[in-house]
Amino acid sequence: MTDTTGTAIRTDWADVPAAVRSAIECVVGAGVLEAETQSGGFSHGVAVRALLTDGRRVFVKAIDADDDLVRMYRTEARTAARLPDAIPTPSLHAGFDAEGWFAMVFDDVAGRHPRLDREDERAAVLATVEDLRRLLTPSPIPGVPTFAEVYGPELNSWQRYAEEGPPADLDEWSSRNLARLASLEAIWPDHAAGTTLLHTDLRPDNMLRRADGSVVVIDWAWPCVGASWIDLAALVPSLVARGVDPDPILAAHPATRDVDPVVVDAFACGVLGYWERALRRPAPPRSPHLYRYRVAAARVTREWLRRRVHWQ
């Protein structure tokens, strides 16, 4: 989709209450000498790469415990703490409440977001997706909700539009094919069950490419258990946005090569409907770039689905 560098309006380290900063420094066992705010993504919480007074580097995330997003942060901490050591993700050192805030301290990863339009970096991302599928089947974490439980109410927008009426500004192709879209969308939930622990938010800005070319996955805030094909299918709009034809990848990758193409169509349909509904909601005040991202996500997902279904 669009570039997510500089999209977040984050709380800087210096703006965190002094008592909270002191509590975090107490947990890490050293003072923070330098703190570099990471401006990607859409959350407004603290996200800093910190150089400590003893020379170590850590990554710190923090948010006011009364913030609406704190539940997401707590989920990320619980998930990160229970992921097996073999998973390519930064290790969590601590997740804790401090002076009315919630904070997490991770290993710092030196790297950048992978470029999906570069063949070698794309291959590394796809290899990481397969590593996750292999290492997280069955799920090593009990009590995680199913994909259908979490996303069933979100990936049903076409059916809702068919019942309630579509928005007046819906594009011509979607309006013309609304009944078809609603019928297609209804298929995916019957094929979403599985035992794999899913990330469910795989995008380049939730990955880091290290100097050796390997890729790590970050931000485990939305874990679900479901079919192992879902994470790769969810990555497809990011591939399309970079000019990559995803269909040969889906046909060859172990996660998706045996999946009925109609199921992939149905999932793409559900994702498109989600973005169509989301872009009509106001963006949160501290995520002003989210609207632009939603519009781009709807556009590239529609482009992919239209190529697959060949509807006029």
Please give the structure tokens belonging to residue 288: 């002003």
pLDDT value of position 275? 98
pLDDT value of position 287? 76
* Architecture of the domain whose range is 119-309: Alpha-Beta Complex (3.90)
pTM: 0.95
Q: Which residues contact 68 (CB under 8 A, 6 or more apart)?
A: none
- Three-state secondary structure readout of 78-107: HHHHHCCCCCCCCCEEEEEEECCEEEEEEE
Residue spans of the domains in the chain: they are: 13-107, 119-309
pLDDT value of position 3? 52
The answer to whether 205 and 221 have CB atoms below 8 angstroms apart is no
pLDDT value of position 4? 55
pLDDT along the chain (312 residues), means of 10: 60 96 98 92 89 98 96 98 98 97 97 97 99 99 98 98 98 98 99 99 96 98 99 98 98 98 99 97 79 94 97 96
pLDDT value of position 5? 53
Query: What separation in angstroms does the CA of 210 have from each of 131, 178, 221, 223?
Result: 16, 44, 22, 24
pLDDT value of position 179? 98
Which one of 3.30.200.20, 3.40.50.300, 3.40.50.1360, 3.90.550.10 gives the CATH number of domain 13-107? 3.30.200.20
